[in-house]
Chains A and B, each alone.
Chain A
Amino acid sequence: MSGWHAIPSEPELRLWLRSNPLYLSGARELVCALAKRLGFDDLSCCQIALAVDEALANIIRHGYGRRPDGPIWVSLYPTPAQPDTKPDAKGGPVRAELAIVIEDEAQQVDPTQIKGRELDEIRPGGLGVHIMREVMDEVLFERRESVGMRLTMRKTAPRPEDIQRRPCAEAGRADDGCGRLDDQTPSGPSGPNAGAS
């Protein structure tokens, strides 16, 4: 996609985590909170968090074979909106952008072979890449120079007129847009599977 800001040599934020699914929620909340501060609408914040989650899950599942100790770096490159600068190609103000680079030291694969599967067949699994490509404006897989893979994803905040709905803000739910609801657990009957994880 043309018109992207160049990714600086150093990120504004970098998260290092091990390939343990327990840490996915923390990564989601960080990315969602940053996107919200940049001015992304609730839907876009949700989408960005989902894309990061799917990317990390794929690294954990396929790259590291579910090993919980593999290193993963999530680097964030925010570009705030610039309402007072030269308008973009469509005459509107320059909108906020968020670039996310996720790197690992896992098994390398041919980037051209990383494709979302066909959705005609309904079966569990294989949706992660499709979801990333649907919700982000750019998705690029690369081999790192020595070991592992690098995934670059970017998203530009939509124009106000393109924001169709606000799925994260529902009547009666104290949702801050990043998935945290008011802290109320139902007091209904508990079965054999009840209990904290």
Chain B
Amino acid sequence: MQVQSERQGENAIVRPIGDVDMSGSPELRAAIRQAQQGSPRRLVVDLAHVAYMDSSGVATLVEAMRHAQGAGSELILAAMADRVRAIFEIARLDTYFKIVPSVEDATP
């Protein structure tokens, strides 16, 4: 799995590409941690190129959300495929996260 990262002013965008499973989630975790170390006002995780996520990916995002909340910043999930959203619904986390249709919707 690849992870792309960029900074747009006060926004940081992390873009995993591929499956976020037990094999790939450590890379996503590292990328998010690095992005959060830059103290962005808003961290957007662009999931447009994630076809699959399991509970390790969900755990990574929960950890990221807790860090963001502690730092007083925002974390938004963007462009989530329905099959990825399904696991958030099973875990009852679909209302815990702010989920928007696109990165553009997350960065006004």
Are A and B co-members of a single complex? yes
Task: Write the residues of chain A forming the contact surface with B, with a CB cutoff of 8 angstroms.
Answer: 21-22, 24-25, 28, 43, 46-47, 49-50, 53-54, 57, 60-61, 119, 122-125, 127-128, 130-131, 134-135, 165, 167-168, 170, 173, 175, 179-181, 185-186, 188-197
User: Quick one: CB contact mask for B43-71 with A, threshold 8 Å, 1 for yes?
Assistant: 00000110110111011101100100000
Given contacts A24-B23, A124-B62, A185-B49, contact A43 B86 (CB under 8 A): yes
Given contacts A131-B91, A167-B83, A195-B2, contact A186 B52 (CB under 8 A): no
Q: Which residues of B contact A130 (CB under 8 A)?
A: 90-91
Q: Which residues of B contact A181 (CB under 8 A)?
A: 49, 51
User: Quick one: CB contact mask for B73-97 with A, threshold 8 Å, 1 for yes?
Assistant: 0000000011101110011110010
Q: Which residues of B contact A131 (CB under 8 A)?
A: 54-55, 87, 90-91
Which residue of B4, B18, B59, B96 is within 8 Å of A188 (Cβ)?
Answer: B4
Interface on chain B toward A: helix, strand, loop, or mixed SS? mixed
Task: Write the residues of chain B forming the contact surface with A, with a CB cutoff of 8 angstroms.
Answer: 1-7, 15, 17-19, 21-24, 27, 30-31, 34, 48-49, 51-52, 54-56, 58-60, 62-63, 66, 81-83, 85-87, 90-93, 96
The 3 A-B pairs at the shortest CB distance, nearest first, are namely A167-B82, A191-B5, A124-B59
CA distance A134 to B34 in the complex (A): 34
Most buried by A among B34, B54, B83, B96: B83
Instruction: Check if B4 sits within 8 Å of A186, measured CB to CB.
Output: yes
Instruction: Check if B23 sits within 8 Å of A22, measured CB to CB.
Output: yes
Q: Which residues of B contact A127 (CB under 8 A)?
A: 55, 58-59, 90-91
Q: Which residues of A contact B55 (CB under 8 A)?
A: 54, 57, 125, 127-128, 131
Q: List 8 A-B contacts (CB under 8 A).
A: A28-B21, A57-B56, A119-B91, A167-B81, A179-B19, A193-B4, A194-B2, A197-B27
CA distance A46 to B59 in the complex (A): 19
Given contacts A57-B56, A124-B63, contact A194 B82 (CB under 8 A): no
Closest CB in chain A relative to B43 CB, distance in Å: 13
Instruction: Check if B27 sits within 8 Å of A193, measured CB to CB.
Output: yes
Most buried by B among A50, A173, A191: A191
Q: Which residues of B contact A167 (CB under 8 A)?
A: 81-83, 85-86
Q: Which residues of A contact B34 (CB under 8 A)?
A: 192-193
Instruction: Check if A180 sits within 8 Å of B51, measured CB to CB.
Output: yes
Which residue of B22, B86, B96 is within 8 Å of A21 (Cβ)?
Answer: B22
Instruction: Check if A193 sits within 8 Å of B54, measured CB to CB.
Output: no
Closest CB in chain B relative to A58 CB, distance in Å: 9
CA distance A180 to B21 in the complex (A): 14
Which residue of A47, A122, A173, A175 is within 8 Å of B96 (Cβ)?
Answer: A122
Instruction: Check if A168 sits within 8 Å of B4, measured CB to CB.
Output: no
